[in-house]
Amino acid sequence: GRLVFGNYLMPYSFVLKCDRANMVYTTKPASTVFDKFMHILKCDVENARLMLVSSPKYNGPVQDEPPRFMGEGFVVMMSNNVDVYYYQDEPGIVQHEPEQIQMADGEVLVKRTYPCVGVDIKCGKNTDFNYGPWVDRQRELIYKFFYPPDYQPLVPSREAEPGEKRQFKSMEVKLTINAISAIDILFTKNAMTQALHMNAGKGSYVEVTIPYIVEDSGFVTKVKGQLMLVDATTSMSFRSLLECETLEFDVTASYPREWNACQEWRCELTACKAVVYLIYDLKSFFSDLVNDWSSKSPPDIYSFVPYTWTLSLVIKQFEVLTLSNENNWVDTSSQHQENAHVGFCGEHFDLCVTFPFNDFMPETVPINLVIKGDTVFCRLYLPESNTMRHTLIAMSENIKIVDREGNEIGKCLDPASDKQWRNVTLNSNGWVDCWTTPYVFLTVTYTYYPAPPLLSHASADRLAHYGTCVPILEEEIPDVDFLQPSCSSASHPGGTSYTSGKDHTFDPGLMEPDSIHVELEIAPSVVVLYGSLLRNLIHLKENYLGEFQKATDFVENLSKQSDIEATYVHVDYPDEDEQPFDARKYRPFSVTVSVTLHDIQAHLAK
């Protein structure tokens, strides 16, 4: 059977397809004594597929192609077996007397109750989810077609009076995965499909709370859940990203009653026993994902909605592994990788960052990031190909460490390190403990100049001809000094040309830089200084903050370098001669670093 949700006026429609579906309707007692009974609908679906397919009678242009074609259409969700359990109370009548609830211990409480409504969905084997910016745009397009916004303030819901029907407060939707499933976040960069792939184990679930009542302050939508045995990879050459036992998430979206009032979004992530692989190319990977998800149209004050994003990440027992190969050469083989690593491990990791997008076209946007770490270790790993590997391991196994009074305390930096959780950074695998501290505090203040999409001169002239008010974005482009100006280039009234090609050179140093201020504070610590540690820390600095940020694969030849760059590294357009020059992409960067070290006890290994 098929269930279609769409219209021929839209390029794509949602289609729910299945081979077989059995439905049973029944009733049972209501969840509260104040309601009549509960409706129950059970449905067993085999080989279910939720797809986005092309609307057959749509004759308009299709400018947004899907990132991947999957037979009949783009498959959003598929599963061999899906069990659906829908329940809804038949509302009773509001009583004149206050509602009383008897607890299990016999205590009687006076509390307002509501009839319940919800749906439980359980997915079986071969369950796959595919989502991303393209799917989200089609979802938004279909939703706005059937439920267009009226831009009027929401009216608070009136509370039911005695003698009226009881009202629903919210709807609960729960999705449970009873087998190993795959989750793909697909996006497009330079006409190439990229993916963030995740595997989730049995027992993963998602719960969504949809409000039915509008309060004086608006309404709140909640999404929470837990993913078990998460294994996340990317489509880059170095695929590893994240491994953890559990990943809990709790997203809260607070909507005010006015459509253009400031919204509050909060996301809390909690991971347990996590291993994170970090390379600099991940910055470009996630930047391209965000750019694909964000709007491509110039800012418009008539559709601007301010909001604030707060992200909180807590990791209990973590290992963060960085690559410290010289010149950022990376071994991307699937087994027995010959990479040097500097690992940062600990018992507790806490990150909090706020993104304030509550002003329309601000001159600068400040972002504050705070990171705290407890019982932190720095560990070093050298591959088998490194001639210093066996020397480093031999020194670490025979070193004598003393306390501040000169008393020998053994070979470990911290006696409690043997009890610490380890997954990759095992001593038996060649990892060496180099630094330990009970507490690390890091604050980062990043202030940048936004670069919204530009409105071309042709579009501005055309809209001005019809009397349409458009935002003037050229004021956001700073004045830069073009060393070789050309009379054929287009310039804005201030004299800045931003649409010229390669025949123009300019001095980006005259532009106001984006600034980042880093403050690092380390509690009293013990460090063993190996020569290999200092050398790899220098490589680490060059690979992440220096001249070798672009990773180079061991096995890839130079002829495929352009393909690699177009695949996962943020690069310019393939045909730069046909694209307008944008000076904002070359804004300089100012970095200020402050490091405070308290009471260091260092051992020079020799």
209, amino acid identity: T
Q: How far apart are the first and last CA of the chain?
A: 74
- Cα separation of 28 and 36, whole Å? 10
At residue 541, the pLDDT reads 86
- Cα separation of 511 and 588, whole Å? 7
Alpha-carbon separation of residue 476 from 208, 224, 291 (angstroms): 40, 39, 19
The answer to whether the predicted template modeling score (pTM) of the entire model surpasses 0.75 is: yes
Mean pLDDT of the chain: 84
Length of the chain: 606
- Give me the DSSP letters along 413-440: SSGGGGGS--SS--GGGT-EEEEEEEEE
- Cα separation of 529 and 402, whole Å? 14
Q: What is the pLDDT of residues 345-393, one digit of tens each?
A: 999 999 999 999 989 989 999 999 999 999 999 999 999 988 899 999 9
> Angle at the Cα of 25 (from 24 to 27), degrees rounded to 5?
135
Strand partners, 227: 247
pLDDT value at 244 more than 50: yes
Strand partners, 495: none
Q: Yes or no: say if 251 and 222 are a contact pair by the CB < 8 Å rule.
A: yes
- Cα separation of 544 and 323, whole Å? 9
Q: What is the pLDDT of residues 51-63, one digit of tens each?
A: 999 988 888 888 7
Query: What is the enclosing helix (H) or strand (E) of 459?
Result: helix 457-465
Residue 281 CB neighbour total at 10 angstroms: 21
Relative orientation angle of helices 561-568 and 281-293, to the nearest 10 degrees: 50
CB-based contacts of 425: which residues, under 8 Å, 6+ apart?
319, 321, 343, 345, 377, 379, 381, 431
Token pair of 72 as six digits: 């009949």
Token pair of 469 as six digits: 């008010």
When comparing pLDDT for 103 and 215, which is higher? 215
Which of 83-97, 138-152, 441-455 has the least mean pLDDT?
441-455
pLDDT value at 475 more than 60: no
Query: What are the residue ranges of helices labelled H in 13-80?
Result: none
- To which residue do tokens 């783009």 refer? 74
Strand bridging mode 263-278 / 307-323: parallel
- To which residue do tokens 């000169």 refer? 406
At residue 117, the pLDDT reads 96
Q: What is the pLDDT of residues 305-344, one digit of tens each?
A: 999 999 999 999 999 999 998 888 888 887 778 899 999 9
When comparing pLDDT for 604 and 38, which is higher? 38
pLDDT value at 464 more than 50: no
At residue 499, the pLDDT reads 44
- Cα separation of 146 and 53, whole Å? 18
Q: What is the pLDDT of residues 554-577, one digit of tens each?
A: 776 554 555 544 444 444 444 444
At residue 481, the pLDDT reads 43
**3-state class (DSSP) for residue 294:** coil
At residue 336, the pLDDT reads 78
- To which residue do tokens 């004598």 refer? 400
**3-state class (DSSP) for residue 234:** strand
Strand partners, 218: 215
CB-based contacts of 337: which residues, under 8 Å, 6+ apart?
331, 383
Strands (E), 18-62: 20-28, 38-54
Domain boundaries defined on the chain: 1-150+162-228, 236-452+518-579+596-606
For 473-521, give the secondary structure using H, E and C: CHHHCCCCEECCCCCCCCCCCCCCCCCCCCCCCEEHHHCCCEEEEEEEE
pLDDT category at 410 given cuts 50, 70, 90 is low
